[in-house]
Structure 1
Amino acid sequence: MDRTPAATATADDFLDRALLEEAAKKSGLLWVRADGQEQSRALWHAWYDGAVVVVGDGDEQPLHGLSAGAGAVVTVRSKDKGGRLTGWPARVTELAPRGEAWLGAVEELKGKRLNAPDTDTITERWARECRVLRLEPAGRGDGLLTEQPGAMPDDSHAVVPMPTPATTRRPVPAGLPRLLFKRRTGRTGS
């Protein structure tokens, strides 16, 4: 087996690509931070033709800061634990409505869209009101992944929650926990 730096880099790139693709396919949610933004946004997505595709704006998820030609950082969570699994830089491109790439991406996205109010006409609505973006992995010199198992950053990445007018009106009633966690008593099967 060839252990030259070029052969090792190729093998590492192949393994990075496999991890990135498998993680993105299995996770239903990822975090995306557009270049120039301070916070990441959670986005639902699909994997199509070697990249993550997202649909947003209009009545769908907001895609603030993501624009064609810009860059972004994508963080994919683990499906079983929900924690950070991998991160990578991406190039953002906008797919032209009703083009071949757009139609393929939309078919994948339609399967991932939960509780759509208009499942029969969703394609037309997306073409009219929304943007479909492709986030293609863009390795920067020393590998494709910036985060992966065994090579995670030490800082917490915690952010202050977004402001909201939602509040709890009153304290939880004292008897509620007993009601919720009370053992159900009843007949036992014979």
Structure 2
Amino acid sequence: MADPLVTEAMKKAAVAWVSVGDGPALALWCLPIDDALYVVSGPGEQSAPGLADAGAARVSLRGDHGGRIVTWPAEVTRVDPGSEEWATVAPQLAAKRLNAPGSATALAERWAAECAVNRLAPAGEPEARSDGSEATPPRESPAARPAKRPFRLHRVRGARPSSR
């Protein structure tokens, strides 16, 4: 049985921050169904490196205000196309997929052939909240560069009323 806070946060989740192993947490579109979150990843869908073959992940859910509500360990299981679970979950996911190319049936068929649908179920107690900042330093990027001071040729003085 999942923690009540995790269960309630999952009911309202549309995006979950999921990290696999030591990798960074990625924002992934998800759909809550029966006390679990379902995530689609693969070609033409969102990128979730390592999730399709993972057995465990760490999930953080955020509230309407943008702050973290809860972080919990998840058991990751892949939903097999053709299974009873697939027949139940795939149409619901396809119906909720925004800007989907083609019909929901065609989308589910493409997912069965090319993508992975994973079930993220709570697998333990949620992590305790700390009083300190949970901010992590920014990742290295070639786009980042040091900020420079603005260039000024002359000293800027306060505006004085003209005597005209």
Equivalent residues of 1:91, 1:138 under 8 A apart: yes
Q: Do the aligned residues in 1 keep the contact of 2:72 with 2:122 (CA within 8 Å)?
A: yes
Aligned to 2:102: 118
TM-score scaled to structure 2, two decimals? 0.76
Q: How many percent identity over aligned positions?
A: 37
Q: Equivalents in 2 of 1:27, 1:159: separation in Å?
A: 26
1:49-128 map, 5 Å: 49-68=34-53, 70-78=55-63, 80-120=64-104, 121-128=106-113
Structure 1 gap segments, 5+ residues each? 1-13, 166-190
* 1:160 matched residue in structure 2: 138
Q: Which residue number corresponds to residue 18 of structure 1?
A: 4
Q: Structure 2: give runs of 5+ residues left out of the alignment.
A: 144-164
Asked whether the 8 Å contact 1:35–1:70 carries over to 2, the reply is no
Length, aligned pairs only: 142
Structure with max Cα Rg: 2
Question: Which portions of structure 1, spanning 4 or more consecutive aligned residues, are displaced by more than 3 angstroms?
Answer: 161-165
**Backbone CA RMSD of aligned residues:** 2.2
TM-score normalised to structure 1 length: 0.67
2-side partners of 1:97 and 1:91: how far apart?
Answer: 19
Please report how far the alpha carbon of residue 69 of structure 1 lies from its aligned counterpart in structure 2 after TM superposition.
5.0
